[in-house]
């Protein structure tokens, strides 16, 4: 059974600081997704990582995937308040862009 | 890209009743999925909605509680039957664009059972 773990569960950080969210998963997969969820909203797709060593960046967020270590990271650079949200990683264990197993989520709070 | 519409967006339901959630996609998709997100929790897959056959349920979810229909390649429904307060959740419809790589989510249906 595929298990996906994220840490930390909650992260409070000051504006301007850097931090990394970690996503570990238990079985072989080379498809990993990152989503953002704002309170009262659905999921917003951030990144799709499709191979070992994949790195994608959008603004202050950068995601990477190491399939051998079964680890993905979401790095936040110089955080701003607008990044406050819950971030989920999710693994596609089927390899066919279909059903996902989600991590526990990381609630990020960026303070002034 | 796929645009997914869900109805209702929110509802308050009485204990013991059933509610059907609709998911409409603006293009034909092979795979549709239903997820549940309980308050403050992550998302859990309920089932895969198969066109022309019974849905495939994940462990812990049964057809009697969550009957699903998939009459064509753009539409699916999820019914939450005999609701209890524990069913208060967000229910999300999702589609994959295989052989593409993106997985899309609807806006969700927020159900509160009282």
Residue B100 has pLDDT above 80, yes or no: no
Tell me the per-residue pLDDT of A50-96, one tens digit each, with 9 for 90 and over. 888 899 999 999 999 999 999 999 999 999 999 999 999 999 877 66
Residue B109 has pLDDT above 70, yes or no: yes
Distance between the two ends of chain A, CA-based, in angstroms?
A: 41
Assess A50–B contact: CB distance below 8 Å, yes or no: yes
Q: Cα-flanking dihedrals φ and ψ of residue B85, to 5°?
A: -55, -25
Residue A6 has pLDDT above 70, yes or no: yes
Q: Nearest-CA neighbor of B64 among B51, B50, B47, B88?
A: B47
Residue A24 has pLDDT above 80, yes or no: yes
Chain B hits for A48, CB-CB cut-off 8 Å, are 101-102
CA atoms within 13 A on the CB side of B73: 7
* Mutation target vs A (from B47, B103, B108, B110; most A CBs, 10 A cutoff): B103
The arithmetic mean of pLDDT across residues A96-101, rounded, is 79
Q: How would residue A97 be classed by pLDDT, with cut points 50, 70 and 90?
A: low
Assess B5–A contact: CB distance below 8 Å, yes or no: no
Chain A hits for B90, CB-CB cut-off 8 Å, are 42
Assess A56–B contact: CB distance below 8 Å, yes or no: no
Q: Nearest-CA neighbor of A88 among B51, B46, B40, B90?
A: B40
The arithmetic mean of pLDDT across residues B46-68, rounded, is 93
- Residue in this structure with the two tokens 């969820």, named with its chain if needed: A37
- Residue in this structure with the two tokens 């990683």, named with its chain if needed: A89
Minimal Cβ distance to B103: which of A33, A41, A103:
A33
The arithmetic mean of pLDDT across residues B51-72, rounded, is 94
């Amino acid at each position: 059974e595929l298990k996906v773990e994220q840490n930390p569960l909650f992260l409070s950080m000051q504006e301007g600081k850097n931090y990394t969210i970690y996503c570990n998963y238990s079985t072989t997969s080379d498809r990993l997704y990152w989503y953002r969820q704002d309170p009262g909203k659905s999921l917003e797709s951030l990144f799709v990582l499709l191979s070992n060593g994949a790195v994608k960046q959008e603004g202050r967020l950068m995601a990477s995937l190491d399939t051998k270590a079964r680890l993905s990271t979401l790095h936040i650079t110089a955080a701003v308040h607008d990044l406050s949200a819950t971030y989920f990683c999710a693994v596609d264990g089927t390899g066919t862009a279909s059903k996902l197993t989600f991590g526990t989520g990381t609630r990020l709070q960026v303070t002034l | 890209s796929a645009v997914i519409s869900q109805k209702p967006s929110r509802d308050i339901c009485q204990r013991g009743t059933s509610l059907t959630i609709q998911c409409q996609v603006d293009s034909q998709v092979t795979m549709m999925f239903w997820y549940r997100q309980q308050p403050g929790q992550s998302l859990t897959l309920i089932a895969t909605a198969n066109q022309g056959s019974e849905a495939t349920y994940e462990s812990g979810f049964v057809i009697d509680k969550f009957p699903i229909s998939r009459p064509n390649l753009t539409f699916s429904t999820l019914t939450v039957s005999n609701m209890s307060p524990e069913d208060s959740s967000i229910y999300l419809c999702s589609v994959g664009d295989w052989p593409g790589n993106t997985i899309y989510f609807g806006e969700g249906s927020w159900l509160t059972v009282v």
